[in-house]
């Protein structure tokens, strides 16, 4: 872990300047006290104390006085320097002793049969406690034996973690989810859209979040917890069992016809042009199986690993932003002036490209949006999120500079983490701290590219950003 030494070094520098000035004052006092100010310099006789004018001897009173003053000054200077250095070293030693802790957790059991859809929300899942700084998180789907489950058997559409405050149980009243206070990230989307602290898709095995020192996502701050509440975490896991399904790609893209859906989970009829996506992929649905197929149910788990350090004065906190390419931003007027309105749809469809490729774009679908960032800061980490068919997503600054290009990796085998035809990772960006700064109000542009041969339903184009409002003092 790197140590910010700016304050101690500055203190030493100031102290040295003070001590040099102090020594100069001693030198001046020595001159004032020397015989030169009482008359011509004299050499004093060791025998009878008489002398004559001339060059003073080195052991005369003038030298003795000056040596006394200077030696005391040097002693004071050295003692002070040693004291400050020892304090600095002790601080450095204490900081290097910071321990990165790690824990592995399992989600509640996820019961799946061939073709089934599970999209459950688990409140109060296991997570590190205390006032800490999160440094890393990763995860994967596993079976009851702890073995990794490949995407072509069970597709992980997405999983995410949200922080919330829950009333402390007093032993009397029943706690309801409506009593909870959801804590949003710092992102731009409206209301309850994309408010997660951490979000992953099928690429979870190949896209670990590792936050460099001295930065961290600070949680568990008692000063921020409302009185009578405690901090908790909610986990959502959305998976689709594709064993034995009639159309694997169609099931993973949540096509409405394959799931036999005409209404959303609240009973509201779907738009006639809605072909597939989250509205046709809610908990308990069944994707069409191959005729006559019967398969066993099984229990799976999301296994997630979290790394963290205890919060201390050296940690620089980060803010979390999730930016959506489907966000249709506009400004509206109210009594206090113009306010921003965001409308994030989270997903979109891609029309199939004709063989003639009339647009001459090489059958690449391009979606773009530009959004203002109310508050700026220094970009520390960036990662994109796309589904199968994605060819890359890029984030641009207001001046056209590329902040990050995140490219999907596709598997080429059968083993978990390298499944052929699936997105198994997204490239990440770690700018040198201080090298990428967003100014307050800067407009960012997101461009998400997908192959449109074939077409797709319910795809996404998201960016996950970690931003520091300030850097550690250099």
| pLDDT, mean of residues 40-62 | 43
Higher pLDDT: 249 or 362? It is: 249
**Which run of H or of E encompasses 51?**
strand 51-53
Question: Does the pLDDT value for residue 67 go beyond 60?
Answer: no
- Rounded Cα distance between 237 and 228, Å, is 29
Q: What are the boundaries of each domain within the chain?
A: 6-96, 101-468
Least confident of 234-238, 332-336, 394-398, 462-466: 332-336
Average pLDDT over residues 241-266: 97
Rounded average pLDDT over 22-32: 48
| Tokens representing residue 348 in the block | 């979109």
pLDDT of residue 356: 59
Token pair in block for residue 45:
């006789």
pTM: 0.78
DSSP 122-156: EET-----SSEEEEEEEEEEEETTSPBPPTTTEEE
The pLDDT confidence band at residue 249, using thresholds 50, 70 and 90, is very high
- Weakest-pLDDT range from 64-73, 156-165, 305-314: 64-73
Task: Determine the Cα–Cα distance for residues 469 and 380; give it in Å rounded to an integer.
Answer: 10
pLDDT value of position 293: 84
Taking only the tens place, the pLDDT of each residue in 272-283 is 999 999 999 999
Residue corresponding to tokens 């960006």: 429
Does 320 have pLDDT greater than 80?
A: yes
SS (H, E, C) 52-105: EECCCCCCCHHHHHHHHHHHHHHHHHHHHHHHHHHHHHHHHHHHHCCCCEEEEE
Average pLDDT of span 433-437: 96
- The residue ranking higher by pLDDT, 265 or 12, is 265
Q: At residue 51, does pLDDT exceed 80?
A: no
Residue 470 and residue 433 in contact, taking contact as beta carbons nearer than 8 Å = no
Percent pLDDT > 90 in the chain is 70
In 3D space, the residue among 303, 140, 151, 159 whose CA is nearest the CA of residue 242 turns out to be 151
pLDDT digits (tens, 9 = 90+) for 209-228: 999 999 999 999 999 999 99
Q: What is the pLDDT of residue 334?
A: 59
pLDDT in tens, 360-386: 568 999 999 999 999 999 999 999 999
């Amino acid at each position: 872990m790197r140590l910010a030494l700016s304050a101690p070094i500055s203190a030493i520098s100031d102290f040295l300047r003070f001590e040099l000035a102090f020594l100069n004052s001693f030198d001046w006092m020595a001159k004032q006290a020397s015989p030169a100010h009482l008359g011509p310099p004299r050499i004093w006789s060791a025998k009878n104390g008489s002398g004559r004018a001339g060059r003073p001897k080195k052991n005369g009173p003038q030298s003795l006085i000056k040596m006394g003053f200077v030696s005391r000054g040097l002693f004071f200077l050295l003692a002070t320097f040693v004291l400050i250095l020892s304090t600095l070293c002790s601080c450095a030693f204490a900081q290097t002793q910071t321990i990165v802790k790690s824990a592995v957790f399992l989600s509640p059991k996820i019961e799946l049969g061939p073709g089934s859809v599970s999209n459950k929300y688990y409140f109060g899942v296991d997570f590190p406690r205390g006032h800490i700084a999160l440094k890393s998180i990763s995860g994967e789907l596993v079976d009851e034996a702890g073995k990794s489950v490949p995407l072509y058997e069970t597709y992980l559409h997405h999983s995410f973690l949200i922080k919330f405050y829950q009333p402390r149980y007093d032993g009397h009243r029943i706690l309801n989810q409506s009593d909870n206070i959801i804590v949003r990230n710092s992102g731009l989307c409206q209301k309850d859209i994309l408010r997660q602290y951490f979000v992953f898709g099928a690429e979870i095995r190949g896209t670990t979040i590792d936050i460099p020192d001295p930065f961290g996502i600070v949680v568990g701050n008692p000063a921020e917890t409302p009185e009578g509440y405690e901090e908790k975490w909610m986990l959502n896991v959305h998976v689709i069992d594709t064993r034995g399904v009639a159309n694997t790609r169609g099931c993973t893209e949540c096509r409405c016809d394959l799931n036999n859906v005409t209404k959303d989970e609240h009973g509201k009829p779907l738009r006639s042009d809605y072909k597939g996506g989250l509205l046709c992929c809610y908990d308990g649905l069944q994707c069409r199986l191959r005729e006559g197929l019967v398969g066993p149910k099984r229990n799976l788990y999301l296994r997630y690993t979290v790394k963290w350090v205890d919060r201390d004065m050296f940690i620089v906190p980060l803010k979390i932003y999730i930016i959506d390419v489907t966000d249709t931003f506009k400004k509206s007027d109210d009594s206090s002036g113009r306010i921003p309105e965001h409308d994030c749809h989270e997903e979109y469809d891609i029309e199939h490209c004709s063989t003639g490729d009339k647009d001459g774009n090489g059958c690449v679908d391009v979606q773009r949006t530009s959004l203002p960032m109310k508050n700026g800061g220094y970009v520390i980490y960036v990662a994109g999120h796309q589904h199968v068919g994605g060819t890359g997503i890029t984030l641009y600054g207001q001046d056209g500079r590329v902040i990050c290009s995140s490219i999907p990796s596709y598997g080429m085998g059968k083993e978990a983490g390298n499944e052929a035809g699936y997105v198994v990772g997204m490239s990440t960006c770690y700018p040198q701290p201080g090298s990428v700064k967003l100014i307050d109000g800067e407009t960012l542009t997101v461009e998400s590219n997908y192959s449109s041969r074939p077409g797709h339903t319910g795809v996404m184009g998201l960016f996950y950003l970690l931003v520091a409002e300030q850097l550690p003092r250099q």
